[in-house]
Amino acid sequence: MFAEFKTFIARGNVLDLAVGVIIGAAFGAIVSSVADDLIMPVIGALLGGLDFSNYFIPLADVPPGTEPTLEAMKAAAVPVFAYGSFITAVIKFVILAFVIFLIVRQANRFLAKKKEEEAAAPSGPSEVELLAEIRDVLKNRP
């Protein structure tokens, strides 16, 4: 079983997937920072508030003395309609999807260019042709 597991892990696909997951997690942190620290404050300022993720609608009575923040509402067990957090998550997704689109687009261009270069490069005889030539030379030897 250990040998089978070792063979499974040694496959290129598994290693590529592991690298992709690790890079994806790090990239997710960057996208979260861009959304939370750069984009959402601007959107919040344009809409009259400083922290867009704190936009919510309480769905029950708020206990007296509770701060009007999302964290305080959740700590007080007040059900809230947290549309600001949802919009922040949607914007993060759109940013991440757009960046992945740009990466895939560039990779496709690179691969297409590489295929064009390979097709344009002069190619020699195929293996079958070389073997046929060797066979013919050997037949003609005295």
Residues 6 or more apart in contact with residue 136 via CB below 8 angstroms? none
- Please tell me the pTM assigned to this model: 0.60
Q: Are 119 and 63 in contact (CB under 8 A)?
A: no
In the chain, the number of structural domains is 1
Query: Which CATH number does the domain housing residue 119 bear?
Result: 1.10.1200.120
> 59 is in which domain, residue-wise?
2-140
pLDDT per residue, tens digit, the chain (142 aa), is: 888 877 776 766 777 778 788 888 888 888 888 877 888 778 777 877 656 777 888 988 888 988 888 888 889 998 999 998 888 888 888 888 888 888 889 988 998 888 887 777 777 778 888 888 888 888 888 7
What is residue 141's three-state secondary structure?
Answer: coil
